Amino acid sequence: MSNNDSEKNKNIGAESDAVVTLSEVRLDTEEARKDEADRKRAAKYRMMTEEKVPDVIVKLSIPTIISMLVTAFYNSADTFFVGRISNSATAAVGIVFSVMAIIQAFGFMCGHGSGNYMARMLGAGETKEASDTASTGFAMSLIIGAVLAALGIFFREELAVVLGATKTSMKDTIDYMTIILLAAPVTMAQFVVNNQLRFQGSAVYAMVGLMAGAVINVALDPLFIFGFHMGVRGAALATASGQLISFIVLFIGSRKGGNIKMHLRNVHLNFHYIKEILNGGLPSLFRQGLAAAATMLLNSASGRLGGDAAIAGMSIVSRTMLIVSCALIGFGQGFQPVCSFNYGAGLKNRVRQGYFFCVRIGTVFLSVMAVLCYVFSAQIVRFFRNSDDVVAVGKVALRYQAVTLPLMATIVITNMLLQSIGMGVRASVTASARSGIFFIPLILTLPHFFGITGVEVSQAIADACAFILAIPLVVPVLRGLKKPMEASAGNET
C-alpha cells in the first residue's frame, strides 16, 4: 500500500471517529433534554397530586386571574377608545363582540377539549396520548378558524344585519368585523395553546403570552384610531395585532419547561381524538356560542327599543360583567388542571375539596364586586361613554345584574368541575343555561311586555334560573367524589 493510500485511510478513519463522536454527543444531548423534560413533568405531577389543594389552586390561579383580567381589559380597550368617536362606533364594537365570542367559542372548544383530556392522560401517566391530543387540538383550531374566516367575510353584510347592526352603525360594523374575521385562525390557535399550557400546570407561560398581546393591543389602539385616523378599523387592527403577538409568545412558551410539544406527525384527525376533544370542549362551545347568540338577540332588542344608545349601554354592561367574571373564571381555571390531574390519578377527594374551596372564595369575591357595581353603576357606564342616553340604560341593567352576580360562583365552578372530569352532557347543560336555555327565551319575550326594562332585567333572571338548575346537576357528582382520602392526599387541609 502506498503512503498516499495509507494517509487516506487514516483520514477516513479519523472522519469516521469524528462522525461517531458527533452522533454520540447529539444522542447524549437529546437524552439529557428528555431526562430534563421528564424531571419537570414529574415535578408538576407531584405538585398537582401531593401538595395541599388550596395552595396548588392559588398558585395556579394567580397567573390565570392576571391573564383573564388582562384579556378582559384589552378586550374592553376597543370599547373605551372607540367610545371617544361616536355612539354608532361604540355600538359597532358591541355588535361585533358576538363574532369575537363565536371565534373564542371554537377556540375554547379545541383548547379546553384537548387540555382536559391531556391533563387526565398526564395524571394517568400517558404522555404519548397527551402529546397526540395537543397536536390534534391545535390542528383542528386552524382548520375551523380558516373556515369561519372565509364564510364570515363572504357573508359579512348579511351577518352584520343578523347581528343587529342599524343603518347608522352598518359601515363601522362591517369595517371592524372584516379585520377580526381575517385574524380568526391565529386567534383560535392562540386560545388553544393558552389553554393547553394551563392544563399542564404552566400558567405562568400562559400569562406572559396573553399579557404580551394585551400590551400591543392597548398601545396600538390610540395610535391606529386617532394617530392614523383609522377609526374602528384601527381598533380591529390593534386587536388582531395583539392576538398575533400573543400566539407567537405562547407557541414559543409551549416548547419550553417540559411542556408537551406539538408536532405535525402527532396530528390524528380520527374519531378517537375528535371525540375526546369534543367531549371536553363542547360545553365551552355551547357556553360561548350561546353567549354570542344571546348578544345578537340583546343587540337586536336594544336597537329596536332604544337605538344605538341602548345597544351601547348594554354593550358596556356586558363588558363590565366580563371584567368581573374574568377574575372568577381565572380563579376557576387554577382549579381545572388540579381537577383533571387528580381525577385522572384517582384522587377524587382532592377534586371535591377543590370545588368547595373555589365556590366559597368565588362567592365572597363576587358579593364584594356586586356591591361596588350597584353603588357606582352610573359612574362605571359613563367611564366608557359619557352620554346621558347610554348611562340611562346601562346603569339600570348593571344594577339588576349586580343583584344576582354572587350566584355565578356556583354556576361557573360547577361547569368547570363537570367539564374537567369528562361529564360532557351535564357540563353542556350547565354551560348552556345562563346564556341559552334561560336567557334566550327571556330576551325574546320580556321586552314585548316591559319594553327596555325587559331587556335590562333578562340576564339577571337567567342567572338566578341557571343557579337553581346547577344544584341538582352537581350534588350527585359531589356525592360520588366523597370517598376515603387516598394515601397520596395526606397533606390536604
CA distance 231 to 212: 23
CA distance 245 to 262: 19
Sequence-ordered list of residues with C-beta below 8 angstroms from that of 314, at least 6 positions apart, any chain: 94, 298, 299, 302, 393, 394, 397, 455, 456
Radius of gyration of the chain from Cα atoms?
Answer: 25
Sequence-ordered list of residues with C-beta below 8 angstroms from that of 408, at least 6 positions apart, any chain: 325, 328, 362, 366, 463
- Single-letter amino acid, residue 469: L
Sequence-ordered list of residues with C-beta below 8 angstroms from that of 163, at least 6 positions apart, any chain: 95, 96, 98, 99, 173, 296, 299
What's the pTM? 0.69
Nearest to 189 by CA among 248, 138, 233, 153: 138
- Hey, CA dihedral for 170, 173, 174, 175, is it positive or negative? positive
Place of cell 345584574: 401
Which pLDDT score, from 0 to 100, does residue 20 have? 52
Residue of higher predicted confidence among 442 and 297 = 442
> How far apart, in Å, are the Cα atoms of 338 and each of 16, 53, 208, 309?
51, 8, 21, 44
Q: What is the arithmetic mean of pLDDT over 310-319?
A: 84
CA distance 213 to 183: 13
CA distance 46 to 367: 34
Cell, residue 110: 379545541
**pLDDT class of 4 with cuts at 50, 70, 90:** low
CA distance 199 to 420: 10
Residue of higher predicted confidence among 287 and 248 = 248
Q: What is the arithmetic mean of pLDDT over 150-157?
A: 94
- Hey, CA dihedral for 163, 168, 174, 177, is it positive or negative? negative
> How far apart, in Å, are the Cα atoms of 288 and each of 102, 142, 419?
6, 18, 14
Q: Which of 117-126, 402-411, 484-493 has the highest mean pLDDT?
A: 402-411
How would DSSP label each residue in 32-70? Answer: HHHHHHHHHHHHHHHHHHHS-HHHHHHHHHHHHHHHHHH
30-70, pLDDT tens digit by residue?
A: 666 666 667 777 787 788 888 898 999 988 888 888 877 77
424-467, pLDDT tens digit by residue?
A: 789 889 988 988 899 999 999 999 999 988 988 999 999 999 99
Which secondary-structure segment (H or E) carries 319? helix 271-344
Which pLDDT score, from 0 to 100, does residue 321 have? 87
- Hey, CA dihedral for 365, 471, 124, 350, is it positive or negative? positive
| Residue-averaged pLDDT of the chain | 84
Which pLDDT score, from 0 to 100, does residue 320 have? 86
